[in-house]
Amino acid sequence: MSNKNKKLFIGIITGLIAILIVVYSLLMSGIIKIDNNTVTPETPQETIVEPVEDDTNKTDPETLKKYRERYDEYKEINPDYVGELFFDSGLINVSFVQAKSVYKPNGEMYKFYTEDGRLVTDPTGYSGNDVYIWTYWKTGEYDYNDNGGSTFLDYLDELSDQNLTIYGHHFSPWNDPEGTKAFTPLEKLLEEENFKGNETATIVLGDEIRKYEVAAVYIFDLYNDNHVNNMQYWRRAYNYDDYTGVQDDNYYQNYIDNLKTIKLYDTGVELTTNDKTVSLQTCISGHVGELYEIVVLKEVSVEKY
């Protein structure tokens, strides 16, 4: 073999050895793998988590049936019936209604009463909220002592709104010694020691079951300008004022920031400007028309049925 051929042969062998050394190093480092005798580079694979439907929190069929039967029964009694609101602990359990106006959809004026039991004949100055405040939704009659009128959804609200406001009466001990009527039991949430065990609530509508967590409890002072300006819990959309028609894209964040300073204690639930809420309003004992207890519920799930 000529010297030229020897050099070529040695060069080829040296090159092959170098390639084998590199391949061996890559194999040992795991950068390439041998699969079915084929050497292929290993590329990172994107982890795809397939959604798994969780049935653990779904309402059982028997309960759904009861919900449907009750809804149909109450809707038959009064077309203004909206649904049920209850704390999962049993703290409160009420039906609530809504009148959009002092006039029914057919144009007929509602029969409703003032606080002292007078039948309203001139609806001037009244809104849908006045229809059920002293009128019991099942009978259409004045009811001050037994049920304290009705628990009702604000007349402006739509169920799709970002925030719903539900009003319920607070009874005095003389006509509710046990403190169980309407929204009276919410008084317990003014004390942090009563919060544990009462953290969650449910609203059952005609075709939905909405689950909530208590985000905050606070006292609204009607004569406090800071409260009136910054804690407008009755807004349907926090960044829009229904009464003035003013759009303020920062209002919800402003509300959340102020809520942190006036809430009575930390519930462990944080609000963001993407959240939907329900604001429960009732009176503070001894301060009717001056102080209101507001319980803010944060929506955490919606189940169709």
* pLDDT tens column, 75-103: 999 999 999 999 999 999 999 999 999 99
144's tokens: 């001050």
**Which residues pair with residue 83 across a beta bridge?**
96
The confidence band for 286, taking pLDDT boundaries of 50, 70 and 90, is confident
304's tokens: 């169709």
**Amino acid at the residue 220:** F
Q: 170 or 41: which carries more pLDDT confidence? A: 170
**Amino acid at the residue 280:** L
- Give the other-Cβ count within 10 Å of 10's Cβ: 10
pLDDT at residue number 47: 40
Q: What is the mean pLDDT of the chain?
A: 87
**What 3-state class would DSSP assign to 185?**
helix
Cβ partners under 8 Å of residue 235, min gap 6 = 163, 241, 242, 251
**pLDDT one-digit tens code per residue, 181-210:** 999 999 999 999 999 999 999 999 999 999
Tell me where in the chain the CATH 2.40.260.10 domain(s) lie: 61-304
Question: Does residue 166 contact residue 96 with C-beta atoms inside 8 Å?
Answer: yes
The confidence band for 254, taking pLDDT boundaries of 50, 70 and 90, is very high
By C-alpha distance, which of 296, 286, 289, 90 is closest to 185? Answer: 90
26's tokens: 């890559």
**Which residues pair with residue 282 across a beta bridge?**
293
> Distance between CA atoms of 152 and 206, rounded to whole angstroms?
16
> Distance between CA atoms of 173 and 186, rounded to whole angstroms?
14
128-145: average pLDDT: 96
> Distance between CA atoms of 249 and 241, rounded to whole angstroms?
11
On the question of pLDDT at 63 being above 60, the answer is yes
On the question of pLDDT at 277 being above 90, the answer is yes
On the question of pLDDT at 261 being above 60, the answer is yes
3-state helix, strand, coil in the chain (%, to 5): 25, 25, 50
On the question of pLDDT at 56 being above 80, the answer is no
CATH architecture label of 61-304: Beta Barrel (2.40)
Cβ partners under 8 Å of residue 182, min gap 6 = 92, 94, 147, 148, 151, 168, 169, 170, 171, 282
Q: Is the pTM of this model over 0.85?
A: no
